[in-house]
A and B are shown apart, each in its own frame.
Chain A
């Protein structure tokens, strides 16, 4: 079965410190990978994506993510966390063999708490 795992329910980090939010996936082929962020009572906002090429992709608000094919991981990173980064983060994959339609499979989400 195709799935996305976010092993940490919550990540706590001090403001100014680097942060990492982990994601691993189990999908056949070469999927497209995404990170989204959700603020309270809001929809999901697109942060970044990996399709092919350089394993380190850069996105919005200073976030980046590192793709590792051998470990089937796509961890979200930021060199210096801000209090305003506190939110719920979702990793998602689009299987390469999705029957011709654009279905995203999401992880359960990781709550990021950045403390002053």
Chain B
């Protein structure tokens, strides 16, 4: 098991609502990335935070936003939820000091939008 934790484990929301997912990074890791894993697919990169700033973003609309806090924990916020937002949301932490930059993933938050 990695030291990355995510909350909540499961979440059910209604279309149009807003949701906040939380992630605590592994000790010593200052970079947090978020991924969306739809059913039967590989994870898709949403964005990355380093030193409390978003420093990279995938092909996701602005209603997907995030924060990183001084303790390197992070939040993913999704506004105006759509049915297609139903997925497993994975948080991963890493450190620039890791050669190759492998990322360590949390267990994920399963979001269901009805």
Contacts and interface: CB of A to CB of B under 8 A. Distances in A.
Do these two chains really belong together in a complex? yes
A32 B103 CA distance: 12
A46 B4 CA distance: 13
A102 B33 contact: yes
A97 to B, nearest CB: 12
Interface residues of A, number: 27
Contact of A45 (B35, B56, B105): B105
Contact of B107 (A36, A42, A102, A107): A42
A28 interface: no
Interface in A80-108: 90, 92, 94, 98-108
A76 to B, nearest CB: 15
Nearest to B90: A43
A90 to B, nearest CB: 6
B90 A44 contact: yes
B101 interface: yes
A22 interface: no
B90 A101 contact: no
Contacts of B104: 46
A42 B88 CA distance: 10
Contact of B44 (A101, A102, A106): A106
A4 B28 CA distance: 30
Of B55, B99, B105, the most chain A CB neighbours within 10 A belong to B105
Interface of B: 2, 4, 6, 31, 33, 35, 40-45, 48, 50, 55-56, 58, 90, 92, 94, 99-108
Interface of A: 4, 32, 34, 36, 41-46, 49, 51, 90, 92, 94, 98-109
